[in-house]
Amino acid sequence: MQNGEATELKNLRPADLAKALSLHERLLSGRPGGRRALLSGFRLEATDFSTRDLRESDFTGAALAGSLFRRTKLQFANFYAADLRRTNFNGADLTRADLRGACFRGASLVGANLTEADIREAVLARYSANRIPTAVSHGDGHADMSAINAEGANLSNAKMGGSFTLRADFSEANLSNADLRNADLRMSNFRNAIMTGVNLIGVNAAGADFHGAVLTNARIHDANFDGVDLTGAILDLTHLTSPVFARAVLPKTPEDAGLDLEAALDMHESWVRSAAHEGKRLTLDGIDLSRGDFSARNLTAISMAEAILRGCNLTGVQLASANLARTDLRAAILRNADLRGASLEHAHLNESILAGADLSPLTDVGSSGRSLSTDLRGAKLVGADLRGAKLMHANLAGADLSRAKLDEADLTGANLDGARFIGAAMGNAKLQGSSMEGTTGLV
Protein backbone atom coordinates (compact mmCIF):
# COMPACT_ATOMS: atom_id res chain seq x y z
CA MET A 1 0.00 0.00 0.00
CA GLN A 2 1.08 3.56 -0.47
CA ASN A 3 2.26 6.07 2.08
CA GLY A 4 -0.21 6.66 4.87
CA GLU A 5 -1.16 3.00 5.24
CA ALA A 6 0.46 2.64 8.65
CA THR A 7 -1.62 5.42 10.17
CA GLU A 8 -4.81 4.23 8.48
CA LEU A 9 -4.71 0.55 9.43
CA LYS A 10 -5.97 -0.40 12.85
CA ASN A 11 -4.71 -3.00 15.28
CA LEU A 12 -6.97 -5.61 16.85
CA ARG A 13 -6.20 -7.56 20.00
CA PRO A 14 -6.31 -11.37 19.59
CA ALA A 15 -9.09 -11.62 22.19
CA ASP A 16 -11.21 -9.08 20.29
CA LEU A 17 -10.61 -10.90 17.00
CA ALA A 18 -11.60 -14.22 18.53
CA LYS A 19 -14.79 -12.63 19.84
CA ALA A 20 -15.62 -11.07 16.47
CA LEU A 21 -15.19 -14.43 14.70
CA SER A 22 -17.24 -16.26 17.31
CA LEU A 23 -20.09 -13.74 17.05
CA HIS A 24 -19.99 -14.02 13.26
CA GLU A 25 -20.35 -17.79 13.37
CA ARG A 26 -23.16 -17.37 15.92
CA LEU A 27 -24.94 -15.10 13.43
CA LEU A 28 -24.54 -17.62 10.59
CA SER A 29 -25.89 -20.44 12.75
CA GLY A 30 -29.02 -18.42 13.57
CA ARG A 31 -28.31 -18.20 17.28
CA PRO A 32 -29.21 -14.98 19.13
CA GLY A 33 -26.57 -12.36 19.82
CA GLY A 34 -24.63 -12.90 16.63
CA ARG A 35 -22.98 -10.10 14.69
CA ARG A 36 -21.29 -9.89 11.29
CA ALA A 37 -17.48 -9.75 11.35
CA LEU A 38 -16.52 -6.28 10.10
CA LEU A 39 -12.73 -6.41 9.88
CA SER A 40 -12.17 -3.71 7.30
CA GLY A 41 -8.87 -1.87 7.59
CA PHE A 42 -7.36 -4.00 10.35
CA ARG A 43 -3.84 -5.37 10.61
CA LEU A 44 -4.29 -9.16 10.68
CA GLU A 45 -1.07 -10.50 9.19
CA ALA A 46 -0.14 -14.15 9.79
CA THR A 47 -3.50 -14.94 11.41
CA ASP A 48 -4.97 -18.45 11.22
CA PHE A 49 -8.60 -18.43 10.02
CA SER A 50 -8.50 -22.04 8.81
CA THR A 51 -11.76 -24.07 8.73
CA ARG A 52 -13.79 -21.15 10.15
CA ASP A 53 -17.20 -20.23 8.75
CA LEU A 54 -16.66 -16.65 7.58
CA ARG A 55 -19.28 -16.34 4.89
CA GLU A 56 -20.21 -12.70 4.13
CA SER A 57 -17.45 -11.37 6.38
CA ASP A 58 -15.84 -8.02 5.53
CA PHE A 59 -12.05 -7.74 5.15
CA THR A 60 -12.05 -4.64 2.92
CA GLY A 61 -8.54 -3.17 2.75
CA ALA A 62 -7.30 -5.42 5.57
CA ALA A 63 -3.64 -6.42 5.84
CA LEU A 64 -3.68 -10.22 5.78
CA ALA A 65 -0.25 -11.11 4.37
CA GLY A 66 0.82 -14.61 5.35
CA SER A 67 -2.54 -15.54 6.88
CA LEU A 68 -4.12 -18.98 6.68
CA PHE A 69 -7.61 -19.59 5.27
CA ARG A 70 -7.28 -23.32 4.59
CA ARG A 71 -10.70 -24.91 3.96
CA THR A 72 -12.41 -21.77 5.25
CA LYS A 73 -15.97 -20.95 4.18
CA LEU A 74 -15.74 -17.52 2.54
CA GLN A 75 -18.72 -17.40 0.20
CA PHE A 76 -19.72 -13.79 -0.52
CA ALA A 77 -16.87 -12.51 1.67
CA ASN A 78 -15.45 -9.06 0.92
CA PHE A 79 -11.69 -8.78 0.38
CA TYR A 80 -11.88 -5.59 -1.68
CA ALA A 81 -8.32 -4.15 -2.06
CA ALA A 82 -7.02 -6.40 0.74
CA ASP A 83 -3.37 -7.36 1.11
CA LEU A 84 -3.43 -11.14 0.57
CA ARG A 85 0.22 -11.68 -0.26
CA ARG A 86 1.46 -15.19 0.59
CA THR A 87 -1.91 -16.16 2.08
CA ASN A 88 -2.97 -19.80 2.03
CA PHE A 89 -6.49 -20.39 0.68
CA ASN A 90 -5.99 -24.10 -0.12
CA GLY A 91 -9.39 -25.80 -0.25
CA ALA A 92 -11.23 -22.61 0.75
CA ASP A 93 -14.63 -21.71 -0.70
CA LEU A 94 -14.58 -18.18 -2.12
CA THR A 95 -17.69 -18.53 -4.25
CA ARG A 96 -18.87 -15.09 -5.40
CA ALA A 97 -16.37 -13.36 -3.12
CA ASP A 98 -15.44 -9.73 -3.81
CA LEU A 99 -11.71 -9.79 -4.50
CA ARG A 100 -11.46 -6.66 -6.62
CA GLY A 101 -8.11 -4.93 -6.42
CA ALA A 102 -6.73 -7.48 -3.95
CA CYS A 103 -3.04 -8.38 -3.96
CA PHE A 104 -2.62 -12.18 -4.07
CA ARG A 105 1.07 -12.13 -4.96
CA GLY A 106 2.60 -15.48 -4.00
CA ALA A 107 -0.65 -16.80 -2.50
CA SER A 108 -1.67 -20.46 -2.58
CA LEU A 109 -5.19 -21.35 -3.77
CA VAL A 110 -4.72 -25.04 -4.50
CA GLY A 111 -8.13 -26.66 -4.89
CA ALA A 112 -9.95 -23.48 -3.84
CA ASN A 113 -13.42 -22.67 -5.15
CA LEU A 114 -13.62 -19.19 -6.68
CA THR A 115 -16.72 -19.74 -8.80
CA GLU A 116 -18.11 -16.37 -9.95
CA ALA A 117 -15.57 -14.52 -7.81
CA ASP A 118 -14.93 -10.89 -8.81
CA ILE A 119 -11.18 -10.31 -9.20
CA ARG A 120 -11.22 -7.21 -11.40
CA GLU A 121 -9.24 -4.03 -10.87
CA ALA A 122 -10.30 -1.58 -8.15
CA VAL A 123 -8.77 1.16 -6.01
CA LEU A 124 -9.50 1.66 -2.32
CA ALA A 125 -9.64 5.28 -1.15
CA ARG A 126 -9.58 6.45 2.45
CA TYR A 127 -10.55 9.94 3.54
CA SER A 128 -8.56 12.31 5.71
CA ALA A 129 -10.13 14.46 8.42
CA ASN A 130 -10.88 17.17 5.86
CA ARG A 131 -12.51 14.59 3.55
CA ILE A 132 -9.72 14.47 0.95
CA PRO A 133 -9.60 10.99 -0.64
CA THR A 134 -6.28 9.16 -0.80
CA ALA A 135 -5.68 5.94 -2.73
CA VAL A 136 -4.22 3.27 -0.49
CA SER A 137 -4.48 0.19 -2.71
CA HIS A 138 -1.55 -1.91 -3.81
CA GLY A 139 -0.05 -0.96 -7.19
CA ASP A 140 -2.33 0.62 -9.74
CA GLY A 141 -5.55 -1.10 -8.66
CA HIS A 142 -5.20 -4.16 -10.89
CA ALA A 143 -5.84 -7.38 -8.99
CA ASP A 144 -2.36 -8.87 -8.56
CA MET A 145 -2.31 -12.66 -8.93
CA SER A 146 1.33 -12.93 -9.92
CA ALA A 147 3.18 -16.07 -8.82
CA ILE A 148 0.06 -17.61 -7.23
CA ASN A 149 -0.48 -21.36 -7.12
CA ALA A 150 -4.08 -22.09 -8.13
CA GLU A 151 -3.52 -25.68 -9.20
CA GLY A 152 -6.86 -27.50 -9.45
CA ALA A 153 -8.82 -24.43 -8.36
CA ASN A 154 -12.34 -23.76 -9.63
CA LEU A 155 -12.47 -20.31 -11.23
CA SER A 156 -15.44 -20.97 -13.48
CA ASN A 157 -17.32 -17.78 -14.37
CA ALA A 158 -14.81 -15.71 -12.38
CA LYS A 159 -14.28 -12.09 -13.43
CA MET A 160 -10.53 -11.54 -13.83
CA GLY A 161 -10.43 -8.87 -16.50
CA GLY A 162 -7.35 -6.65 -16.36
CA SER A 163 -5.68 -8.71 -13.64
CA PHE A 164 -1.90 -8.97 -13.36
CA THR A 165 -1.27 -12.71 -13.46
CA LEU A 166 2.42 -13.08 -14.30
CA ARG A 167 3.96 -16.54 -13.74
CA ALA A 168 0.83 -17.90 -12.06
CA ASP A 169 0.03 -21.62 -11.90
CA PHE A 170 -3.47 -22.59 -13.07
CA SER A 171 -2.61 -26.17 -14.04
CA GLU A 172 -5.61 -28.54 -13.87
CA ALA A 173 -7.80 -25.57 -12.87
CA ASN A 174 -11.36 -25.00 -14.10
CA LEU A 175 -11.59 -21.61 -15.82
CA SER A 176 -14.65 -22.36 -17.93
CA ASN A 177 -16.49 -19.18 -18.93
CA ALA A 178 -14.08 -17.04 -16.89
CA ASP A 179 -13.52 -13.47 -18.08
CA LEU A 180 -9.81 -12.67 -18.43
CA ARG A 181 -10.09 -9.79 -20.88
CA ASN A 182 -6.93 -7.69 -21.08
CA ALA A 183 -5.25 -9.71 -18.33
CA ASP A 184 -1.46 -10.05 -18.22
CA LEU A 185 -0.87 -13.82 -18.34
CA ARG A 186 2.77 -13.87 -19.38
CA MET A 187 4.69 -17.03 -18.48
CA SER A 188 1.69 -18.49 -16.62
CA ASN A 189 0.91 -22.21 -16.49
CA PHE A 190 -2.47 -23.40 -17.80
CA ARG A 191 -1.48 -27.02 -18.44
CA ASN A 192 -4.54 -29.29 -18.70
CA ALA A 193 -6.82 -26.49 -17.50
CA ILE A 194 -10.50 -26.51 -18.47
CA MET A 195 -11.04 -23.21 -20.29
CA THR A 196 -14.21 -23.83 -22.27
CA GLY A 197 -15.85 -20.55 -23.22
CA VAL A 198 -13.13 -18.46 -21.56
CA ASN A 199 -12.75 -14.82 -22.64
CA LEU A 200 -9.12 -14.16 -23.62
CA ILE A 201 -9.69 -11.06 -25.71
CA GLY A 202 -6.78 -8.65 -25.48
CA VAL A 203 -4.69 -10.78 -23.11
CA ASN A 204 -0.91 -10.81 -23.10
CA ALA A 205 -0.09 -14.51 -22.79
CA ALA A 206 3.44 -14.45 -24.24
CA GLY A 207 5.42 -17.49 -23.14
CA ALA A 208 2.47 -19.07 -21.30
CA ASP A 209 1.92 -22.83 -21.24
CA PHE A 210 -1.49 -24.04 -22.45
CA HIS A 211 -0.34 -27.61 -23.07
CA GLY A 212 -3.38 -29.90 -22.89
CA ALA A 213 -5.77 -27.07 -22.03
CA VAL A 214 -9.37 -27.31 -23.26
CA LEU A 215 -10.08 -24.10 -25.18
CA THR A 216 -13.26 -24.99 -27.04
CA ASN A 217 -15.55 -21.99 -27.64
CA ALA A 218 -12.87 -19.70 -26.20
CA ARG A 219 -12.87 -16.08 -27.41
CA ILE A 220 -9.33 -15.26 -28.50
CA HIS A 221 -8.46 -12.23 -30.59
CA ASP A 222 -6.39 -9.06 -30.34
CA ALA A 223 -4.18 -11.10 -28.02
CA ASN A 224 -0.45 -11.81 -27.74
CA PHE A 225 0.20 -15.57 -27.94
CA ASP A 226 3.85 -15.35 -28.95
CA GLY A 227 5.70 -18.48 -27.86
CA VAL A 228 2.62 -19.99 -26.22
CA ASP A 229 2.70 -23.80 -25.99
CA LEU A 230 -0.56 -25.14 -27.44
CA THR A 231 0.60 -28.71 -27.99
CA GLY A 232 -2.00 -31.17 -26.79
CA ALA A 233 -4.56 -28.37 -26.38
CA ILE A 234 -8.15 -28.91 -27.46
CA LEU A 235 -8.90 -26.12 -29.93
CA ASP A 236 -11.66 -25.17 -32.33
CA LEU A 237 -10.85 -25.34 -36.04
CA THR A 238 -11.27 -21.56 -36.28
CA HIS A 239 -8.48 -21.11 -33.75
CA LEU A 240 -5.97 -22.89 -35.97
CA THR A 241 -6.31 -20.31 -38.73
CA SER A 242 -6.28 -17.30 -36.42
CA PRO A 243 -3.38 -14.85 -36.85
CA VAL A 244 -3.17 -14.73 -33.04
CA PHE A 245 -1.52 -18.16 -33.13
CA ALA A 246 1.00 -17.32 -35.85
CA ARG A 247 3.88 -17.40 -33.37
CA ALA A 248 2.46 -20.00 -30.98
CA VAL A 249 3.82 -23.54 -30.68
CA LEU A 250 1.18 -25.73 -32.33
CA PRO A 251 1.02 -29.54 -32.65
CA LYS A 252 3.22 -30.96 -35.38
CA THR A 253 1.93 -32.91 -38.35
CA PRO A 254 3.82 -36.08 -39.37
CA GLU A 255 5.46 -34.03 -42.11
CA ASP A 256 6.58 -31.41 -39.58
CA ALA A 257 8.09 -34.21 -37.50
CA GLY A 258 9.89 -35.69 -40.53
CA LEU A 259 7.83 -38.89 -40.24
CA ASP A 260 6.78 -41.18 -43.08
CA LEU A 261 3.47 -42.10 -41.47
CA GLU A 262 2.50 -45.00 -43.73
CA ALA A 263 5.90 -46.64 -43.35
CA ALA A 264 5.83 -46.12 -39.59
CA LEU A 265 2.36 -47.67 -39.34
CA ASP A 266 3.52 -50.69 -41.36
CA MET A 267 6.50 -51.09 -39.01
CA HIS A 268 4.18 -51.00 -36.02
CA GLU A 269 1.91 -53.66 -37.48
CA SER A 270 4.96 -55.82 -38.11
CA TRP A 271 5.95 -55.30 -34.46
CA VAL A 272 2.50 -56.46 -33.33
CA ARG A 273 2.38 -59.51 -35.61
CA SER A 274 5.88 -60.66 -34.63
CA ALA A 275 5.31 -60.17 -30.89
CA ALA A 276 7.92 -57.39 -30.87
CA HIS A 277 10.59 -59.43 -32.68
CA GLU A 278 10.38 -57.35 -35.84
CA GLY A 279 9.39 -53.82 -36.72
CA LYS A 280 9.07 -51.06 -34.16
CA ARG A 281 6.39 -49.88 -31.76
CA LEU A 282 5.04 -46.51 -32.88
CA THR A 283 4.69 -43.43 -30.70
CA LEU A 284 2.63 -40.55 -32.09
CA ASP A 285 2.12 -38.56 -28.89
CA GLY A 286 0.97 -34.99 -29.57
CA ILE A 287 0.99 -35.37 -33.36
CA ASP A 288 -1.76 -33.80 -35.47
CA LEU A 289 -3.34 -36.69 -37.39
CA SER A 290 -6.74 -35.07 -37.89
CA ARG A 291 -9.03 -36.50 -40.57
CA GLY A 292 -6.66 -39.39 -41.31
CA ASP A 293 -7.85 -42.84 -42.38
CA PHE A 294 -6.66 -45.64 -40.09
CA SER A 295 -9.55 -48.04 -40.70
CA ALA A 296 -8.87 -51.76 -40.13
CA ARG A 297 -5.27 -51.04 -39.03
CA ASN A 298 -3.73 -53.10 -36.24
CA LEU A 299 -2.51 -50.41 -33.84
CA THR A 300 -2.43 -52.57 -30.72
CA ALA A 301 -0.36 -50.97 -27.92
CA ILE A 302 0.34 -47.82 -29.95
CA SER A 303 0.90 -44.58 -28.05
CA MET A 304 -1.12 -41.59 -29.26
CA ALA A 305 -1.39 -39.64 -26.01
CA GLU A 306 -2.54 -36.04 -26.59
CA ALA A 307 -2.58 -36.60 -30.34
CA ILE A 308 -5.17 -34.93 -32.55
CA LEU A 309 -7.38 -37.56 -34.17
CA ARG A 310 -10.35 -35.28 -34.73
CA GLY A 311 -12.61 -36.60 -37.48
CA CYS A 312 -10.40 -39.63 -38.18
CA ASN A 313 -11.75 -42.86 -39.65
CA LEU A 314 -10.83 -45.58 -37.17
CA THR A 315 -13.50 -48.08 -38.19
CA GLY A 316 -12.60 -51.60 -37.09
CA VAL A 317 -9.16 -50.51 -35.90
CA GLN A 318 -7.37 -52.61 -33.28
CA LEU A 319 -6.35 -50.35 -30.40
CA ALA A 320 -6.15 -52.83 -27.54
CA SER A 321 -3.97 -51.49 -24.69
CA ALA A 322 -3.30 -48.31 -26.68
CA ASN A 323 -2.40 -45.08 -24.91
CA LEU A 324 -5.00 -42.49 -25.94
CA ALA A 325 -4.95 -40.39 -22.76
CA ARG A 326 -6.13 -36.79 -23.36
CA THR A 327 -6.31 -37.49 -27.10
CA ASP A 328 -8.63 -35.37 -29.23
CA LEU A 329 -11.03 -37.85 -30.82
CA ARG A 330 -13.92 -35.49 -31.38
CA ALA A 331 -16.20 -36.65 -34.23
CA ALA A 332 -13.91 -39.63 -34.88
CA ILE A 333 -15.41 -42.83 -36.31
CA LEU A 334 -14.52 -45.78 -34.06
CA ARG A 335 -17.32 -48.12 -35.11
CA ASN A 336 -16.54 -51.73 -34.13
CA ALA A 337 -13.06 -50.70 -32.91
CA ASP A 338 -11.16 -52.91 -30.47
CA LEU A 339 -10.34 -50.69 -27.48
CA ARG A 340 -9.96 -53.38 -24.84
CA GLY A 341 -7.69 -52.25 -22.02
CA ALA A 342 -6.97 -48.93 -23.72
CA SER A 343 -6.15 -45.79 -21.74
CA LEU A 344 -8.67 -43.09 -22.68
CA GLU A 345 -8.34 -41.08 -19.48
CA HIS A 346 -9.56 -37.51 -20.07
CA ALA A 347 -9.88 -38.23 -23.80
CA HIS A 348 -12.15 -35.98 -25.84
CA LEU A 349 -14.73 -38.10 -27.66
CA ASN A 350 -17.61 -35.65 -28.06
CA GLU A 351 -19.84 -36.57 -31.03
CA SER A 352 -17.66 -39.60 -31.86
CA ILE A 353 -19.09 -42.86 -33.19
CA LEU A 354 -18.29 -45.88 -31.03
CA ALA A 355 -21.24 -48.07 -32.00
CA GLY A 356 -20.35 -51.73 -31.52
CA ALA A 357 -16.90 -50.86 -30.14
CA ASP A 358 -15.32 -53.25 -27.66
CA LEU A 359 -14.19 -51.43 -24.49
CA SER A 360 -14.33 -54.49 -22.24
CA PRO A 361 -11.28 -55.69 -20.25
CA LEU A 362 -8.23 -57.06 -22.03
CA THR A 363 -7.60 -60.49 -20.49
CA ASP A 364 -4.53 -62.65 -20.04
CA VAL A 365 -2.18 -59.68 -19.90
CA GLY A 366 1.46 -60.40 -19.06
CA SER A 367 2.94 -63.47 -17.41
CA SER A 368 0.44 -63.25 -14.55
CA GLY A 369 -2.53 -63.36 -16.93
CA ARG A 370 -4.15 -60.31 -15.31
CA SER A 371 -7.16 -58.43 -16.65
CA LEU A 372 -6.79 -54.81 -17.81
CA SER A 373 -9.95 -52.67 -17.75
CA THR A 374 -10.45 -49.85 -20.23
CA ASP A 375 -9.75 -46.50 -18.58
CA LEU A 376 -12.25 -43.75 -19.45
CA ARG A 377 -11.92 -41.69 -16.28
CA GLY A 378 -12.89 -38.07 -16.91
CA ALA A 379 -13.47 -38.73 -20.62
CA LYS A 380 -15.75 -36.39 -22.56
CA LEU A 381 -18.35 -38.42 -24.48
CA VAL A 382 -21.03 -35.78 -24.95
CA GLY A 383 -23.31 -36.78 -27.83
CA ALA A 384 -21.22 -39.88 -28.59
CA ASP A 385 -22.81 -42.90 -30.29
CA LEU A 386 -22.15 -45.93 -28.07
CA ARG A 387 -25.05 -48.06 -29.21
CA GLY A 388 -24.25 -51.72 -28.67
CA ALA A 389 -20.82 -50.91 -27.25
CA LYS A 390 -19.20 -53.33 -24.81
CA LEU A 391 -18.25 -51.37 -21.69
CA MET A 392 -18.16 -54.18 -19.15
CA HIS A 393 -16.03 -53.25 -16.12
CA ALA A 394 -14.84 -50.07 -17.85
CA ASN A 395 -13.75 -47.23 -15.56
CA LEU A 396 -15.99 -44.27 -16.44
CA ALA A 397 -15.59 -42.40 -13.15
CA GLY A 398 -16.21 -38.69 -13.71
CA ALA A 399 -16.90 -39.16 -17.43
CA ASP A 400 -19.45 -36.97 -19.19
CA LEU A 401 -21.90 -39.00 -21.30
CA SER A 402 -24.55 -36.30 -21.58
CA ARG A 403 -26.73 -36.82 -24.68
CA ALA A 404 -24.81 -40.01 -25.50
CA LYS A 405 -26.60 -42.87 -27.26
CA LEU A 406 -26.17 -45.96 -25.11
CA ASP A 407 -29.02 -48.14 -26.38
CA GLU A 408 -28.13 -51.84 -26.03
CA ALA A 409 -24.74 -50.92 -24.51
CA ASP A 410 -23.35 -53.31 -21.89
CA LEU A 411 -22.09 -51.47 -18.79
CA THR A 412 -22.13 -54.49 -16.50
CA GLY A 413 -19.78 -53.99 -13.57
CA ALA A 414 -18.60 -50.60 -14.85
CA ASN A 415 -17.40 -47.84 -12.54
CA LEU A 416 -19.85 -44.96 -13.16
CA ASP A 417 -19.08 -42.98 -10.00
CA GLY A 418 -19.56 -39.26 -10.62
CA ALA A 419 -20.40 -39.80 -14.29
CA ARG A 420 -22.97 -37.60 -16.07
CA PHE A 421 -25.75 -39.10 -18.16
CA ILE A 422 -27.90 -35.97 -18.63
CA GLY A 423 -30.17 -36.55 -21.63
CA ALA A 424 -28.49 -39.86 -22.53
CA ALA A 425 -30.50 -42.55 -24.35
CA MET A 426 -30.26 -45.75 -22.31
CA GLY A 427 -32.72 -48.10 -24.03
CA ASN A 428 -32.02 -51.69 -22.93
CA ALA A 429 -28.59 -50.75 -21.60
CA LYS A 430 -27.19 -53.24 -19.08
CA LEU A 431 -26.12 -51.72 -15.74
CA GLN A 432 -26.03 -54.76 -13.47
CA GLY A 433 -23.29 -54.61 -10.87
CA SER A 434 -22.11 -51.15 -11.87
CA SER A 435 -21.01 -48.60 -9.26
CA MET A 436 -23.08 -45.41 -9.47
CA GLU A 437 -22.12 -43.25 -6.48
CA GLY A 438 -22.66 -39.59 -7.37
CA THR A 439 -23.87 -40.41 -10.86
CA THR A 440 -26.30 -37.88 -12.38
CA GLY A 441 -28.90 -38.34 -15.10
CA LEU A 442 -29.72 -42.00 -14.50
CA VAL A 443 -33.23 -42.71 -13.28
Domains in the chain (CATH in brackets) are 252-443 (2.160.20.80)
**pLDDT tens digits, residue range 345-384?**
999 999 999 999 999 999 988 778 789 999 999 999 999 9
Cα–Cα distance between 16 and 414 in angstroms, integer? 55
Q: Give Rg (Cα) of the chain.
A: 26
pTM over 0.85: yes
Is the pLDDT reported for residue 114 higher than 60? yes
In sequence order, which residues have a C-beta less than 8 Å from that of residue 30 and are 6 or more positions away?
none
Higher-pLDDT residue of 180 and 368 is: 180
Across the chain, mean pLDDT equals: 93
Query: Angle 70-75-78 (CA atoms, 0-180°, nearest 5)?
Result: 95
**pLDDT tens digits, residue range 23-36?**
999 999 999 999 99
The pLDDT of residue 121: 84
Handedness of CA 61, 143, 196, 249 (dihedral sign): negative
| Residue of 339, 335, 315, 316 lying closest to 327 (CA atoms) | 339
What are the two backbone dihedrals, phi and then psi, of residue 435, each rounded to the nearest 5 degrees?
-95, 125
Task: Read off the pLDDT band of 3 (50, 70, 90).
Answer: very low
**pLDDT tens digits, residue range 296-318?**
999 999 999 999 999 999 999 99
Under DSSP, the state recorded for 243 is G
The pLDDT of residue 138: 52
**pLDDT tens digits, residue range 36-81?**
999 999 999 999 999 999 999 999 999 999 999 999 999 999 999 9
Is the pLDDT reported for residue 137 higher than 60? no
Span 81-109, average pLDDT: 97
Cα–Cα distance between 150 and 156 in angstroms, integer? 13
Span 136-141, average pLDDT: 52
**pLDDT tens digits, residue range 159-173?**
999 999 999 999 999
